[in-house]
Amino acid sequence: MKKYDVIVIGSGHNGLTNGAFLAKAGLDVLVVEKNDYIGGATVSRNLHKDWKYSNCSYLASLFRPEIYRHLNLAKHGLQVVTYNGGFTLTDSGDYLGSFSDHEVMRREIRRHSPVDVDAYDRYYHQMAKWCRFIRPLLLRTPPDPTSFKPRDLDELKFLGKKFFDLGQRDLYDFMKFFTVSVGDFLDEFFDSDLIKAHKAGSAVVGTNLGPRSPGTAYVLLHHYMGDVDGAVGAWGFPRGGMGAISGALAGALQEHGGEIRINAGVDKIMVKRGKVTGVRLENGEEILADRVVSNVDAKKTFLGLMEPEDAGEKVVKAAKRYKSRGSSGKLNIALNGVPEFTALPKGSELIKGDFHIVDNMEAYERGYDEWKDGMWSTNPYLDILIPTLTDPTMAPPGKHFMTCFVQYCPSKVKGQDWNADLLKKFGDNVIDSIAKYSPNFKDLIEHVEIRSGQVIDNEIGLTEGNIFQGELSLNQLMFNRPFHGCAQYRGPVNGLYLSGSTTHPGGGVMGAPGANSAREILMDMKISTTVPEDEGDD
C-alpha cells in the first residue's frame, strides 16, 4: 500500500499552497478533499446556467505576491485584475465615492465634509504606515514568548527591534491602533459620520464585534494590507472568479507531482504511539503518511478529526475555548443586466467597485446589537460587487454576477437552525435593502443563492461559517493563534501540522498560513526550504 510523505486534509487555498510548496521540495503529497470540487472557500462554481459564482470569498488582494511568484501561478492561469470605484449610498439620496486618484478622493471628501480633507491625508498615511509595518510579519512564524529556544529568542528579538525601530511616537500610536475600536480610531480623524461609516465596514467584516468594540481598528488593517501588482491596499478579481486561485495552486501542486483526491472526506487522523500514521476516510479507507497537515480549522481538527486522547486534554480544552463564531452571510445573485442606482451620476464608473448602503455608525452598531440577540441585522452592512463589470468571463454576455456580503448574520437564528424559510426571509431583507436604492434591481434578478454561516459550515467546514477560520481578536492573533502550543503550525502529536487561516496570520485569501506551515514542515525534515519569506515588495 502506498505511503505518502504528506497528506493535506482539505483543498482550500492554504492547503493547496502548503501542498504545492511541499511537492516543489520533492515530497510525495496527497491533498484530500471532501467535496466534489476543490478550493474550499476559494471557488468559482456553476450554480446557475452559465454563471460562475465566487460563492464564498470574492476578492483577491491579501494573496501574497511571493507565493504567486514562487509557485509560478501566472503560468497556471492566475491573473488578477484590479478594480476601481466603489461608493456608500446615503439615506438622503446622495453617495460617497471611492476614487483611487488621491486628488479626486480629496475633492469627493470636500464635497461632503471640508474639515475632513486633511484628516483623510493623515488617515491614509497612517494606514499605509501600519501596512508597511505589518506586511513583513505575514510570512514569518510567530515566536513562542514562553520559550527559551534560540530560534524563539531570535524571533522575539527581531520583533522587539522592529517595534522599537518605529520610534517612540509611532510605537505608541501603533499600540493604540492595535487595541482601539474602529469607531474611536476614526473619531480621531474624521468629523463626518458618512465618511466614518464608509471606512468602518472593513473593520467589522467577518468579526463578532461592533464598530465600538475595542480591537476592530486592527481588523481594518487586516483588510488593507494586501496589494495587487505592488499597489498596496488595492483590490482585484482573479479572472474567472476566486476558483482561478485554487485552480492555479492545484496546477502548481500537480506540476510538482502532487495528487488531489476529491470526494474523500476524512473521518479521523490516525495516530499511533504519539505519531500520526495517516488518515481514515469517511468510507473507511485508510491512507498512510508520515505527516498529516490539517487545513481544517482548529476546532474541527482537534475536536472532530482527532480522538480526544490523541489530542490530549490541554489541546481539547484550548480548542473548545477557541472562538469561531459566525457573524456574516452572503447572497450570490445572477442578474440580467446592470442595476441602476438613482444616486449615482449617469454612466459613473464607480459601480465597478465595492459599494455599501449603511451611511452612519449608529446603524452598524444597532446591526451588531441585533446579532448579539441571535438575529440578522435589519439594516445590514453590505459589501456588494459586480465582478462581471471588470471580468466578463463569469456570466453570459450582457449578464452579470453580483456578490453581496452581509454583516451581521447569526450562525443560528435565536438558537434555531436555519431552514429554507429563514434563509428566504434573510435574503429578502437584503434584496429589499438594495432595492430601496435601485428601482430596477429586483426585476433584473434571475437567480439568488442565499448563504448563512450555518450553510457555509455544512458545505465547506468553516465552524459557524466564520470567514477567518476563527475570530481575529487580540486573544487569537500571532502566538495566540489558534492557541499557545499550536501557534507554530505543529499539532500536539508528531507529524501533525496545521496550515489553515486558523493559524498566523489568519484569514483572508492570503496563502501565508499554508506557506509558513510548509516551511516549518520542511525545517523539521531538514530539507532546504523552497518557501519564500517576505521579499519586501514595498
Partner 1 sequence: MTNNLNNSYDVIIVGGGHNGLVCAGYLAKAGKNVLMLEAQSQVGGAAITDKLIGGKKVSSCAHFLNQLSPRVSNDLNLASHGLKLSASNISTIALDLAGNHMHLNKTSVKGGNVSNSDADNYKKFMTLMHEYAGTLGFMIDIAPIDIFNLDWDDKVAAMKLGWKFRFSLGAEKMSEFLRMIGMNIRDVLDDEFDNELLKGALSFDAVLGTYTGPYSPGNFLTFLYRIASGNSGAVDIPKGGMGAVTAAMSSAAKANGVEIRTGSRVKSINVDNCAVTGVTLENGEVFNAKIVASNANMKTTVLDMVGPRHFEADFVKRVGDIRMRGAAAKIHIALNDVPEFSGLARGDLINRLVIAPTQNDVERAFNHVKYGEVSTSPMMEISIPSLVDSSLAEDGHVLSATVQYAPYDLKGGWTKKARADFLEVCISRIAEYAPNIREKIEYAELITPNDMEDRYGLIGGNWHHGELTLDQMLMLRPVPEASQYQLPLDGMYICGAGAHPGGGVMGAAGRNAALEIIKGKTK
How far is residue 235's CA from residue 227's CA, in Å, rounded to a whole number?
Answer: 6
Applying CB under 8 A, the span of 162-170, 193-201, 333-341, 391-399 interacting with partner 1 comes to 162-170
267 binds partner 1 per the rule CB under 8 A:
no
Give min distance, CB of 265 to partner 1, in A: 30
Q: Which of 129, 136, 131, 154 is nearest to 144 (CA)?
A: 154
State the number of binding residues for partner 1 (CB under 8 A): 35
CB atoms within 10 A of CB 313: 9
Place of cell 482561478: 244
Does 312 engage in binding with partner 1 (CB under 8 A)?
no
Amino acid at 531: V
164 is a site residue for partner 1 (CB under 8 A): yes
Q: Which is nearer to partner 1, 419 or 475 (CB)?
A: 475
C-alpha cell at 519: 516551511
Give the distance from CA 292 to its chain's centroid.
Answer: 23
The residue (of 53 and 483) whose beta carbon lies closer to partner 1 is 483
Would you count residue 369 as binding partner 1 (CB under 8 A)?
yes
283 lies in the site for partner 1, by CB under 8 A: no
Our finding on whether 528 is near partner 1 (CB under 8 A) is: no
Residue 154 sits in the site that holds partner 1 (CB under 8 A)? no
Q: What is the largest CA-CA distance in the chain?
A: 72
Query: Binding residue for partner 1 (CB under 8 A) from 22, 180, 395, 402?
Result: 180
Q: Which stretch, 91-99, 359-367, 437-445, 511-519, contacts partner 1 (CB under 8 A)?
A: 359-367
Q: According to the binding rule CB under 8 A, does residue 265 interact with partner 1?
A: no
| Contact status: 184 vs partner 1 (CB under 8 A) | yes
CB under 8 A: which stretch of 207-215, 335-343, 491-499, 515-523 binds partner 1?
Answer: 207-215
157 binds partner 1 (CB under 8 A): no
Q: Where in 61-120 is the site for partner 1 (CB under 8 A)? A: none
The percent of the chain in helix, strand and coil, each rounded to the nearest 5, is 40, 20, 40
Q: Is residue 229 close enough to count as binding partner 1 by CB under 8 A?
A: no
Helix locations, 13-116, DSSP H: 13-24, 65-70, 102-112
Residue 426 binds partner 1 (CB under 8 A)? no
The helix/strand/coil state of 3 is strand
- As measured in angstroms, the least distance from the Cβ of 404 to partner 1 is 26
Examine residue 362 and tell whether it contacts partner 1 (CB under 8 A).
yes
User: Are the C-beta atoms of residues 461 and 56 closer than 8 Å to each other?
Assistant: no
User: Which residue's CB is nearer to partner 1, number 164 or number 345?
Assistant: 164
C-alpha cell of 381? 452592512
Smallest separation (angstroms) from partner 1 to the CB of 168 = 4
125 interacts with partner 1 by CB under 8 A = no
Determine which residue in the list 14, 277, 473, 499 makes contact with partner 1, applying CB under 8 A.
Answer: 473
CB of 315 to partner 1, least distance (A): 13
Contacts of 154 (CB under 8 A, 6+ apart): 143
Q: In terms of CB distance, is 172 or 527 closer to partner 1? A: 172
Cα 296 to Cα 498: distance, rounded to the nearest angstrom: 8
What crossing angle do the helices spanning 193-204 and 216-224 adopt, rounded to 10°?
80
Least distance CB 137 / partner 1 (angstroms):
17
Residue 412 in contact with partner 1, rule: CB under 8 A: no
Q: What 3-state class would DSSP assign to 33?
A: coil
For 142, which DSSP code? P
Q: Which one among 47, 74, 115, 175 touches partner 1, defined by CB under 8 A?
A: 175
Cell of 207: 468579526
Tell the smallest beta-carbon distance from residue 176 to partner 1 (Å): 4
| Closest to 53 (Cα-Cα) out of 356, 449, 459 | 449
**120 alpha-carbon distance from chain centroid:** 26
Instruction: Report if residue 480 touches partner 1, rule: CB under 8 A.
Output: yes
Give the shortest CB-412-to-partner 1 separation in angstroms.
15
Written as one letter, the residue type at 183 is G
Question: Residue 303 is placed in which grid cell?
Answer: 475536536
Our measurement of the distance from residue 372's CA atom to the centroid of its chain's CA atoms, rounded to an integer in Å, reads: 22
Q: d(Cα 34, Cα 266) in Å, to the nearest integer? A: 7
Of 140, 212, 239, 447, the residue at the interface with partner 1 (CB under 8 A) is 212
Q: Is 475 in the site for partner 1 (CB under 8 A)?
A: yes
Please pick, from the candidates 136, 214, 233, 265, the single residue that binds partner 1 as defined by CB under 8 A: 214
**Strand-pair partners of 278:** 270, 288
CB atoms within 10 A of CB 148: 7
Among 24-32, 212-220, 444-452, 512-520, which window interacts with partner 1 (CB under 8 A)?
212-220
User: Looking at 85-93, 172-180, 277-285, 508-516, which segment touches partner 1 (CB under 8 A)?
Assistant: 172-180
Q: Is 165 in the site for partner 1 (CB under 8 A)?
A: no
428 Cβ contact list (under 8 Å, min separation 6): none
CA distance 350 to 345: 9
Q: Which of 315, 321, 293, 286 minimizes the C-alpha distance to 302? A: 315
Note the residues at the interface with partner 1 (CB under 8 A): 145-147, 164, 168-169, 171-172, 175-176, 178-180, 184, 188, 209, 212-215, 321, 323, 362, 365-366, 369, 372, 473-475, 479-480, 483-485
